[in-house]
Amino acid sequence: MQTLKTLRWVAFISLWFAMSGTTWAEEFVAGKDYVVLPKEVPTSDPSKIEVVEIFWYGCPHCYDFNPLVKSWVESLPEDVDFSYLPSTGGAVSKVHARAFYTARALGKLDDLHQVLFDTLIKERKTLNNEDEVVGLFVTRGLEESLVRKTYNSPGVGAKVEAAYQRAIGYQSAYVPALVVNGKYRIGASEAGSFTRMLQVADYLIGLERH
């Protein structure tokens, strides 16, 4: 027989899903709709629920997912901390990861994030090396010497290496993917669609909160 506490929990979670517009929880099954990581990855801020998007600027699927994620992030509550994690699985993706962390170090990520996507996917240009990245940043009004110095800085190099190590912990072989609180990984292959990925993320955030 269910306890009073269990019944209250069922009532609460039912109300939460109804109010949030998210699909009922029983649709989301570990091993089917999302993956439980075999080993928890430490989060950046234990006081918040962390959501990380693993992406690659050269990935058309990440390009399509980006506007959905951007809109979703804008509605996240204050106890959720969202961040991007660029893929570092190959030589070119590491160049793109350096571009990401260079833009962030220069305080220009908000301006350049979509520009980097558009350059590779929409305009079908290449960003295969330092010169091509620097050239793009210069066209956006940044000083070449500053961009080069930042691109090659120990700080940016350390961020790329940290991203590589974190991705190992996430065990993600594809992008885009979402990782919730270092415990759960969600991809379109599990969730079924980009929209459902975000619904599963909402569900897992709710589990972590309660």
Check if the beta carbon of residue 87 is closer than 8 Å to that of residue 129. Answer: no
Q: Note the pLDDT of residue 13.
A: 46
Calpha distance 74→82 (Å, rounded)? 10
Decide if 75 is inside a domain.
yes
* Residue 14 pLDDT: 45
For residue 22, being part of any structural domain is answered with: no
Does position 11 have pLDDT exceeding 50, yes or no? no
pLDDT at 12: 45
Asked if the model's pLDDT at residue 9 lies above 60, the reply is: no
Query: pLDDT at position 20, please?
Result: 47
Does residue 23 sit within a domain? no
Q: What CATH number is given to the structural domain containing 46?
A: 3.40.30.10
pTM as predicted: 0.86
What pLDDT score does 138 carry? 98
CB atoms within 10 A of CB 73: 15
The answer, yes or no, to whether residue 117 has pLDDT greater than 70, is yes
64 lies in some domain = yes
The count of structural domains within the chain is 1
Res 210: pLDDT? 78
DSSP state of 34: B
> Is the pLDDT reported for residue 8 higher than 50?
no
- Measuring CA to CA, which residue among 71, 60, 34, 25 is closest to residue 192? 34
β-pair partners for 97: none
- The reply to whether 89 falls in a domain is yes
Backbone angles phi, psi at 91, to 5 degrees: -60, -45
Residue 1 belongs to a domain: no
Q: From the DSSP assignment, how many helices (H) and strands (E) are in the chain? A: 9, 5
Distances (CA, A) of 175 to 62, 116, 134, 156, 196: 7, 16, 25, 22, 15
188 within domain boundaries: yes
pLDDT in tens, 23-46: 444 479 999 999 999 999 999 999
Q: Note whether residue 92 is domain-resident.
A: yes
Mean pLDDT calculated for residue range 63-73: 98
The residue count for the chain: 210
Q: Where in the sequence is the domain holding 39, given as residue range(s)?
A: 28-209
Contacts of 144 (CB under 8 A, 6+ apart): 134, 138
Q: Is the dihedral of CA 181, 184, 185, 191 positive or negative?
A: negative
Average confidence (pLDDT) over 60-87 = 97
